[in-house]
Amino acid sequence: MKMDEFNRIKLKSLYNTRDLGGMPAENGTVIKEGLLYRSGRLHKLPKSTAKTLSDLGIKTIIDFRTDVERNEKPDTVIKGVNYINCPLVCTATPGITYQEKIRHTFKEEGKILYETYGTADNYMIQMYRNMVTDLESVKALKKFFNIILTVDGGVLFHCSSGKDRVGVCSAILEHLLGVNEELILKDYAVSAVFWRRKYFWYKVGIALAPATLKFKKIILCIMKTKKLYIEKTMEYLEETYGGIKEYCKKVLSLTDDDLNALKTRFLEKRAH
């Protein structure tokens, strides 16, 4: 995976933040720079990082985390930025997400992972499917597209690590803008590269934690980034709705005018 294929924003305490700008799209266009940013959570950011995000012209931050996640690790407040909550399901069992504490959520999920799904991969594939089918998630996705179609300035959308919920939303958005599937999958998978050092230390911490092996397995499972998960999601949308575009029209209620407006707002001719 070549990191220089993607417009990564190197920031202190943020490892997986990048501008979608510059990605080649349809008919000789590219995504405009400075308008669409994806990231992990923005908790306790250093002043230098907060200033850089402000200087980038980001005016809206969309948070895909649940109320529980936001309360445990709230975003750093950046002056002049509008924060919008847009929670997406992040478990294979809808409803369990809304536990009193995230640790309790993982504990409950750990009890059913192997009994219900057999393997960690099956669990994650179902979790990703829930992100596009769960009723609350569908509401959140509708809200997401409404926001990016109507607000001015740069938009940053994030979850906890910037790979799962953000990965699904980025894949859908990039597809609608005409980015080819190979590049969409690369953009998803490169999160594993950007997070490798952080992931290493997380694994060390988990190994030393006073927790059951089952609990540790669920945590490590959720932290992985495999192209298989997003590939299976795209296959599901193809088989069920006829593709991502048709899913967006049938389920997210996006019109042809909306799809054209996305291209008008976020695409420009590639410079020669």
- Note the pLDDT tens digit of each residue in 7-33: 899 899 898 999 999 999 999 999 999
262 vs 118, more confident: 262
Residue 74 clears pLDDT 60, i.e. is over it: yes
Q: What distance in Å separates the CA atoms of residue 186 and residue 160, rounded to the nearest whole number?
A: 20
pLDDT tens-digit series, residues 213-222: 666 666 676 6
The matching CATH number, chosen from 3.30.420.40, 1.10.150.390, 2.40.50.100, 3.90.190.10, for 3-266 is 3.90.190.10
pLDDT averaged over every residue in the chain: 87
Q: What distance in Å separates the CA atoms of residue 235 and residue 241, rounded to the nearest whole number?
A: 10
210 vs 234, more confident: 234
| Average of per-residue pLDDT across 78-96 | 82
| Average of per-residue pLDDT across 54-79 | 94
Structure confidence at residue 104 as a pLDDT band (50, 70, 90): low
Q: How far is CA 120 from CA 33, 99, 124, 150, in A?
A: 36, 21, 6, 38
pLDDT score of 3:
45
Q: Is 197 exposed, middle or buried (0-12, 13-18, 19+ CB in 10 A)?
A: exposed
Could you tell me the residue ranges of all domains in the chain? Answer: 3-266
pLDDT score of 235:
98
Q: What distance in Å separates the CA atoms of residue 101 and residue 99, rounded to the nearest whole number?
A: 5
pLDDT score of 244:
98
pLDDT tens-digit series, residues 146-203: 999 999 999 999 999 899 999 999 999 999 999 999 999 999 999 988 766 665 556 6
| Average of per-residue pLDDT across 25-43 | 96
The phi and psi torsions of 90 (rounded to 5 degrees) equal -135, 30
| Average of per-residue pLDDT across 95-115 | 57
Q: What distance in Å separates the CA atoms of residue 233 and residue 190, rounded to the nearest whole number?
A: 18
Structure confidence at residue 98 as a pLDDT band (50, 70, 90): very low
pLDDT score of 215:
64
| Other CB atoms within 10 Å distance of the CB of residue 263 | 17
Q: What distance in Å separates the CA atoms of residue 223 and residue 90, rounded to the nearest whole number?
A: 12
122 vs 143, more confident: 143
Structure confidence at residue 106 as a pLDDT band (50, 70, 90): low
| Average of per-residue pLDDT across 223-232 | 90
pLDDT score of 225:
86
Torsion of CA 162, 163, 166, 169, to 10 degrees: 160
3-class secondary-structure state, position 206: helix
Residue 94 clears pLDDT 60, i.e. is over it: no
End-to-end CA distance of the chain: 26
pLDDT score of 97:
44
